[in-house]
């Protein structure tokens, strides 16, 4: 591709406004802008002014060609319709780790949904806990969907696995259902955090800076906050025992954020 650059004729004006010999000029068949330096009225210094000239000429020898690296990349762009065009420096290990994390998030969401169904029963009737676990289930599903979107963005393929059947009963003779379910939730959040750290490690080992940044900015900080929050709930439920205090705790959850 030939670059045609319009030339500029630059002249310096003396204190009487008389133009001196142009410092630079070129001409061609098309018009160009000419820059002139003129003295500032009622004071010293110069000002720049532009005027159209009638002569410009192409700057020969200025030819832009793709860099050798770009030529190499062009040859690597796939032509098969089933192959991603967006994929670049995205290893199979990172793709597999993303799919594993998607499966983790969906399984945790499934367990939380089961907890919601349990506490929403008429003979359990802890609406605050039901609300909390329903929101937790939706949040984990959102995390899975965000990972799926990222997988597609990097040119990977989303692969969903079968989910394990969760518990349907959460009553516990020693702890009671509320404390037992909340301790299970804390264990699930810590498991999720361990899996996220593994995903981050895989990204680091494969030199995928973009994936490490994605995990750090979207998941790791939020996961620490969730672990802290549920840890406090476990501590509170251990204090109140299995009796009337559970109802007060449930009411707190029910009206939290209202």
Cβ-count burial of 242 within 10 angstroms (0-12 exposed, 13-18 middle, 19+ buried)? middle
* C-beta of residue 20 within 8 angstroms of C-beta of residue 12: yes
The whole-angstrom separation of Cα 144 and Cα 151 is: 10
The whole-angstrom separation of Cα 242 and Cα 178 is: 8
223 is in an annotated binding site: yes
140 is in an annotated binding site: yes
- Who contacts 8 (Cβ-Cβ below 8 Å, separation ≥6)? 24, 25, 26, 32, 33, 34, 35
CB atoms within 10 A of CB 201: 13
First to last CA, the chain: 64
Q: Which residues sit opposite 183 in a β-bridge?
A: none
The whole-angstrom separation of Cα 128 and Cα 178 is: 11
Entry field: residues in the chain: 258
The whole-angstrom separation of Cα 57 and Cα 68 is: 30
100 is in an annotated binding site: no
Cβ-count burial of 210 within 10 angstroms (0-12 exposed, 13-18 middle, 19+ buried)? middle
143 is in an annotated binding site: yes
- Order the strands of the 11-12 sheet from edge to edge: 11-12, 32-39, 46-53
Q: Is the dihedral of CA 243, 249, 253, 258 positive or negative?
A: positive
Which residue numbers belong to the known binding site? 105, 140, 143, 189, 223
Which residue numbers belong to the known binding site for Fe cation? 105, 140, 143, 189, 223
């Amino acid at each position: 591709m030939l670059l045609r650059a319009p030339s500029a004729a630059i002249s310096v004006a003396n204190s009487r406004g008389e133009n001196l010999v142009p410092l630079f000029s070129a001409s061609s068949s098309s018009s160009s802008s000419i820059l002139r330096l003129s003295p500032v009225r009622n004071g010293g210094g110069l000002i720049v002014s532009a005027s159209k000239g009638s002569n410009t000429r192409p700057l020969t020898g200025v030819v832009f060609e793709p860099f050798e690296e770009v030529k190499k990349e062009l040859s690597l762009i796939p032509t098969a319709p089933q192959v991603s065009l967006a994929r670049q420096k995205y290893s199979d290990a990172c793709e597999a780790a993303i799919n594993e994390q998607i499966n983790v998030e969906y399984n945790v969401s499934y367990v939380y949904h089961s907890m919601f169904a349990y506490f929403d029963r008429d003979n359990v009737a802890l609406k605050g806990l039901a609300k909390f676990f329903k929101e937790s289930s939706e949040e984990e599903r959102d995390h899975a969907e965000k990972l799926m979107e990222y997988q597609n963005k990097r040119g990977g393929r989303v692969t969903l696995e079968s989910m394990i059947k969760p518990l349907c009963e959460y009553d516990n003779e020693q702890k009671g259902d509320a404390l037992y379910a909340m301790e299970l939730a804390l264990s699930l959040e810590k498991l999720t955090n361990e899996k996220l750290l593994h995903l981050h490690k895989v990204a680091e080992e494969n030199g995928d800076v973009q994936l490490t940044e994605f995990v750090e900015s979207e998941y790791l900080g939020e996961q620490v906050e969730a672990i802290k929050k549920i840890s406090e709930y476990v501590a509170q439920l251990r204090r109140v025992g299995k009796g009337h205090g559970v109802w007060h705790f449930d009411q707190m959850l029910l009206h939290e954020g209202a």
